[in-house]
């Protein structure tokens, strides 16, 4: 049995949902059981919901209410195209109620002029809760024995609103109670990704792009044979197709390579997706919902060596470099601890680190607490902040045993000023930090050298 996660574009409109249903039906025939279907919000809906909350909180109530009516219309029209009026009636009234409730929340936010993370999660979760209900209804209409599962009863998280972490043991138990009995009864469980709830029952979300993570959590929880990520590209590509015109498909890669690529910016996979799969050794496959018969990318514990020296590249924009120089002449022991304690205190992850005799440079991509961090570091060090930098990461298992590849990466970039270069213990990636303005040229050079 497989778990199939469908992203926003794969549930964007009635035609996309019909393609999804055909894909789920094929999986059911092949595996004789399931599948479990996990869906994102319809494309752009999460952004719209977050804008509604922001607008309402800023006092732009009319704008927020106008947006809510557009969302209501889009969901009702999609349902109407898939399910005849009589069968759709109960869900129509649920959808109407949900949007009435959202409008009431917007009015309250406009009065309070403040949006708490907890309220933001209630609003953001609506996208997946609705899309999953619509997909379940459409599946039943199409003759699949589907049943909607409320993700808030399936994924249990801590209370870190807007980027909640799942509680593994509790989530396992919740999935055994909510999803496994349906599979045993021959049904097709359908649930929204991205969404969970705390043990106290407060709605949470797993962070942007988190539906992939939900798919993997469900896959691990029900012990799936495979976790499938259905999206709008052919699989993991050698580079971000928005930066490189014709990247190649990576047919197979290892869990470790996929985790590095996701962490360093390959948006096709949420960075946490691989962890539940690793734990249970469940293969992950990335597939194109427009081309259901294509092979996609298969991600497993070990992958055969790639023909190319590198497996793929990833990049992050809007990276900030922070240079921290010890007030004393040398970095006394304890200095690094002091530095990292500051980042810990302000809950800011550091991506890349390099050091010299007197200074340490780190990169962050979450700038929310940067001013406070700089102030705290300035108590014991000299601090220089450089915004508008980018991170470029070349990944491949072959880097581990073939040192010449890393040297070649740096040589190819010889005319690009590199601010930091790093290769960590896994030696599966070599990462460089450069000016944002140099990123696309650097990517093109590397891609040309290693993949064409
Ligand atoms: P979904 O809504 O299905 O979750 P996402 O937009 O989150 O889809 O992720 C798919 C997108 O990721 C692709 O359309 C592509 O633009 C982008 N992307 C970035 N890097 C890569 C990569 N290395 N391989 C494939 N896609 C990538
Ligand atoms: N809908 C959520 C988002 O846009 C989660 C997801 O699609 O993965 O971030
Ligand atoms: Mg995604």
Tell me what pLDDT residue 356 has: 85
Ligand 2 centroid–CA 41 distance in Å is 6
Token look-up 């740096």 returns 410
Question: Closest ligand to 315 CA?
Answer: 1
Cα–Cα distance, 432 to 410 (Å, whole number): 9
Calpha distance 279→284 (Å, rounded): 12
Ligand number, closest to the Cα atom of 214: 2
Question: Is residue 169 within 6 Å of ligand 1 at its C-beta?
Answer: no
Using the mean position of ligand 3's atoms as its centre, give its distance from the Cα of residue 242 in Å. 15
Cα 266 to averaged position of ligand 1 atoms, centre (Å): 7
How many Cβ atoms are within 10 Å of 349's Cβ, its own excluded?
12
The full set of domains in the chain, from first to last, is 2-232 (3.40.1160.10), 312-450 (3.30.2130.10)
| Pairing between β-strand 188-192 and β-strand 252-254 as defined by DSSP bridges | unpaired
- Distance CA(35)–CA(19), nearest Å, equals 15
Q: Which atom of ligand 1 is nearest to the CA of 286?
A: 25
Backbone angles phi, psi at 404, to 5 degrees: -65, -25
Q: What is the pTM of this model?
A: 0.96
- Identify whether the C-beta of residue 360 lies closer than 8 Å to the C-beta of residue 420: no
> Do 428 and 395 form a contact (C-beta atoms < 8 A)?
yes
User: What pLDDT does 426 receive?
Assistant: 81
Give the pLDDT confidence score for residue 424 in this predicted structure: 80
- The Cα 128–Cα 151 span in angstroms is 9
Q: Ligand 1, closest atom to CA 238? A: 23
Is the distance from CB of 3 to CB of 191 less than 8 angstroms?
no
Centre of ligand 3 to C-alpha 266, Å, is 10
**Which residue carries 């929310």 as its tokens?**
368
Would you tell me the crossing angle of helices 14-31 and 117-141 to the nearest 10 degrees?
Answer: 70
231 pocket-lining for ligand 1 (C-beta < 6 Å): yes
Cα–chain center distance at 180: 25
The tokens 């050794």 sit on which residue?
A: 281
The C-alpha atoms of residue 419 and residue 348 are separated, in whole angstroms, by 21
Q: What is the DSSP string of 37-72?
A: EEEPPSTTHHHHHHHHHHHHHTT-HHHHHHHHHHHH
Say if CB 384 and CB 394 are below 8 A apart. no
Nearest to 350 by CA among 296, 250, 412, 431: 431
Query: For ligand 1, what atom is nearest to the CA of residue 242?
Result: 16
39 contacts 127 by C-beta, under 8 angstroms:
no
Euclidean distance between the first and the last CA atom of the chain, given in angstroms as a whole number:
38
State residue 75's pLDDT score: 98
Residue 358, pLDDT score: 86
Ligand lying nearest the CA atom of residue 42: 2
CB of residue 44 inside a 6 A radius of ligand 1: no
Residue 211 Cα, ligand 2 centroid: separation in angstroms?
6
Other residues' Cβ atoms within 10 Å of the Cβ of residue 291: 12
**pLDDT 10s digit of each residue in the chain, 452 long?**
999 999 999 999 999 999 999 999 999 999 999 999 999 999 999 999 999 999 999 999 999 999 999 999 999 999 999 999 999 999 999 999 999 999 999 999 999 999 999 999 999 999 999 999 999 999 999 999 999 999 999 999 999 999 999 999 999 999 999 999 999 999 999 999 999 999 999 999 999 999 999 999 999 999 999 999 999 999 999 999 999 999 999 999 999 999 999 999 999 999 999 999 999 999 999 999 999 999 999 999 999 999 999 999 999 999 999 999 988 766 778 889 999 999 999 999 999 999 988 899 999 999 999 999 999 999 999 999 999 999 999 999 999 999 899 999 999 999 999 999 999 878 899 999 999 999 999 999 999 999 98
Residue 329 has a pLDDT of 65
**Spatial CA neighbour of 192 closest among 163, 177, 213:** 213
Q: Cα–Cα distances in Å, from 376 out to 181, 252, 310, 340, 351?
A: 52, 45, 40, 11, 19
């Amino acid at each position: 049995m497989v778990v199939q996660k469908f992203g926003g574009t794969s549930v964007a409109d009635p035609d996309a949902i019909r393609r999804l249903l055909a894909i789920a039906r094929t999986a059911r025939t092949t595996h004789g059981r399931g599948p479990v279907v996990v869906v994102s919000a319809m494309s752009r809906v999460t952004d719209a919901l977050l804008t509604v909350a922001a607008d309402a909180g800023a006092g732009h109530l009319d704008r927020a209410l106008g947006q809510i009516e557009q969302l209501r219309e889009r969901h009702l029209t999609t349902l109407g195209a898939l399910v005849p009026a009589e069968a759709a009636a109960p869900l129509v009234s649920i959808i109407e109620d949900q949007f009435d409730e959202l409008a009431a929340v917007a009015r309250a936010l406009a009065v309070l002029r403040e949006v708490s993370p907890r309220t933001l999660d209630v609003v953001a979760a609506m996208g997946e809760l609705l899309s999953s209900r619509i997909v379940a209804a459409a599946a039943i209409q199409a003759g699949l024995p589907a049943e909607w599962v409320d993700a808030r009863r399936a994924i249990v998280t801590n209370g870190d609103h807007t980027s909640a972490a799942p509680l593994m043991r509790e989530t396992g138990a919740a999935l055994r109670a909510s999803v496994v009995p349906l599979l045993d009864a021959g049904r097709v469980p359908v649930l929204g990704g991205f969404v969970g709830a705390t043990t106290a029952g407060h709605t949470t979300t797993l962070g942007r792009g988190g539906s992939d993570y939900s798919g993997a959590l469900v896959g691990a929880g029900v012990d799936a044979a495979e976790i499938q990520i259905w999206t709008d590209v052919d699989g993991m590509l050698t580079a971000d197709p928005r930066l490189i015109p014709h990247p190649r498909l990576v047919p197979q890669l290892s869990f470790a390579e996929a985790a590095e690529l996701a962490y360093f910016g390959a948006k096709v996979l949420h960075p946490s997706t691989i962890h539940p799969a690793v734990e249970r050794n469940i293969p992950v496959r990335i597939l194109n919902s427009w081309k259901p018969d294509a092979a996609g990318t298969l991600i497993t514990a070990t992958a055969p060596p790639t023909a190319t020296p590198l497996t793929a590249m990833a990049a992050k924009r809007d990276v900030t470099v922070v240079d921290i120089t010890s007030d004393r002449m040398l970095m006394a022991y304890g200095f690094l601890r002091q530095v990292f304690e500051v980042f810990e205190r302000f809950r800011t992850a550091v991506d890349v680190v390099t050091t010299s005799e007197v200074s340490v440079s780190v990169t962050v991509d979450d700038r929310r607490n940067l001013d406070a961090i700089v102030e705290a570091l300035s108590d014991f060090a000299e601090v220089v902040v450089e915004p508008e930098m980018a991170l470029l990461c070349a990944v491949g298992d072959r880097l581990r045993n073939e040192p010449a590849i890393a040297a070649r990466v740096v040589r190819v970039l010889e005319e690009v000023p590199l601010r930091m270069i790093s290769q960590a213990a896994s030696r599966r990636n070599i990462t460089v930090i450069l000016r944002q303005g140099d990123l696309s040229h650097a990517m093109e050079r590397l891609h040309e050298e290693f993949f064409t």
